[in-house]
Amino acid sequence: MIGLENASVAFGKRTVLDKLNFNVPRGQCMAILGPNGRGKTTALRAMLGFQPLASGSRVAPQVVGYVPQYASASQSYSVREVVVMGRATGLGLFGQPRLGDYAAADSALERVGAERFSGERFDRLSGGERQLVLLARALATGSDVLVLDEPGSALDLANQQRLLVMLDGLRQQRDKAIVFTTHDPNHALAAADTALLMMPDGPALFGPVEEMIAPAPLEALYGVPMRLVEMEAGKGRTRAVLPAFAGRRAA
Amino acid sequence: MTDATLGPAQSRRPFGISATALVFAGMGAFTLLNIVIAICVGRYGVPVGRALEIVAHATLNPGAELSEIDERIVWLVRTPRVLLAALCGAGLAVSGAALQGVFRNPLVSPQVLGISQGAAFGGALAISLGIWGAPLLIMVFLFGLSALAMVGFIARIDGRTEIITVILSGMVVGALFSAFVSLLQYFADPNSSLPAIVYWLMGSFATATWERVGIAAPGMAIGVFLLWSLRFRLNILSLDDAEARSLGARPDLERWIIFVLVALVVGSQVAVSGVVGWIGLVIPHACRLMVGYDHRKLIPASIIAGAGYMVLIDTLARTMTTAEIPLGVLTAIVGAPVFALLLRHHYREKGSK
A74: nearest CA in chain B? B104
The mean predicted confidence, pLDDT, of chain A is 91
Q: Does the distance separating the beta carbons of A80 and B14 come in below 8 Å?
A: yes
| Calpha distance B137→B149 (Å, rounded) | 18
Does the pLDDT value for residue B1 go beyond 50? no
Q: Tell me the ipTM for this assembly.
A: 0.89
Percent of chain B with pLDDT over 90: 47
DSSP B190: T
Number of domains within chain B: 1
**Is residue B54, in this structure, part of any structural domain at all?**
yes
User: CB-CB: which of B13, B230, B247 is closest to A85?
Assistant: B247
Q: Does the distance separating the beta carbons of B248 and A97 come in below 8 Å?
A: no
**Is residue B29, in this structure, part of any structural domain at all?**
yes
**Is residue B2, in this structure, part of any structural domain at all?**
no
| Calpha distance B76→B70 (Å, rounded) | 10
**Is residue B4, in this structure, part of any structural domain at all?**
no
The predicted structure's pLDDT at residue A73: 67
First to last CA, chain A: 48
Q: Which of A42, A45, A85, A139 would you mutate first to test chain B, the one with the most B CBs within 10 A?
A: A85
Does the pLDDT value for residue B40 go beyond 60? yes
The predicted structure's pLDDT at residue B212: 87
In chain A, what residues touch B229 (CB-CB under 8 Å)? 94
How many other CB atoms are found less than 10 A from the CB of residue B45? 11
Contact A31, A196 (CB under 8 A): yes
Higher pLDDT, A104 or B162: A104
Q: Does the distance separating the beta carbons of A102 and B353 come in below 8 Å?
A: no
Domain containing residue B124: CATH number: 1.10.3470.10
Q: What is the pLDDT of residues A9-56, one digit of tens each?
A: 988 888 888 889 999 999 999 999 999 888 898 999 999 998 889 999
Higher pLDDT, B161 or A223: A223
Q: What is the pLDDT of residues B204-248, one digit of tens each?
A: 898 888 988 988 899 999 999 999 999 999 999 999 888 999 998
Residues A163-182, mean pLDDT to the nearest whole number: 94
A78: nearest CA in chain B? B14
How many other CB atoms are found less than 10 A from the CB of residue B74? 26
**Nearest Cα residue to B20 out of B230, B285, B293:** B293
The mean predicted confidence, pLDDT, of chain B is 87
**Is residue B164, in this structure, part of any structural domain at all?**
yes
Task: Give the confidence band of B12 by pLDDT, cuts at 50, 70, 90.
Answer: very low
Q: Which of B239, B260, B290, B298 would you mutate first to test chain A, the one with the most A CBs within 10 A?
A: B239
In chain B, what residues touch A148 (CB-CB under 8 Å)? none
Q: Does the distance separating the beta carbons of A93 and B230 come in below 8 Å?
A: yes
User: CB-CB: which of B231, B236, B242 is closest to A88?
Assistant: B236
Cα of B14 to nearest chain A Cα, Å: 5
pTM of the entire predicted model: 0.89
Q: What is the pLDDT of residues B217-229, one digit of tens each?
A: 999 999 999 999 9
Contact B258, B99 (CB under 8 A): yes
**Is residue B286, in this structure, part of any structural domain at all?**
yes
Cα of B113 to nearest chain A Cα, Å: 20
Interface of B with A (CB under 8 A): 7, 9-10, 12-15, 101, 104-105, 229-233, 235-236, 238-240, 242-243, 245-249, 254, 257, 292-294, 296, 353
Q: Does the distance separating the beta carbons of B238 and A75 come in below 8 Å?
A: yes
Does the pLDDT value for residue B351 go beyond 70? no
Q: Does the distance separating the beta carbons of A91 and B232 come in below 8 Å?
A: yes
Main-chain dihedrals φ then ψ at residue B261, nearest 5 degrees: -65, -40
Domain extent, residue B68, equals: 15-348
Beta-bridge mates of residue A194: A30, A208
User: CB-CB: which of B101, B246, B294 is closest to A66?
Assistant: B246
**Is residue B232, in this structure, part of any structural domain at all?**
yes
Residues B190-195, mean pLDDT to the nearest whole number: 88
The predicted structure's pLDDT at residue A160: 92
Residues A144-158, mean pLDDT to the nearest whole number: 91
User: CB-CB: which of A49, A76, A96 is closest to B296?
Assistant: A96
User: CB-CB: which of A64, A93, A95 is closest to B246?
Assistant: A64
**Is residue B255, in this structure, part of any structural domain at all?**
yes
Q: Does the distance separating the beta carbons of B232 and A97 come in below 8 Å?
A: yes
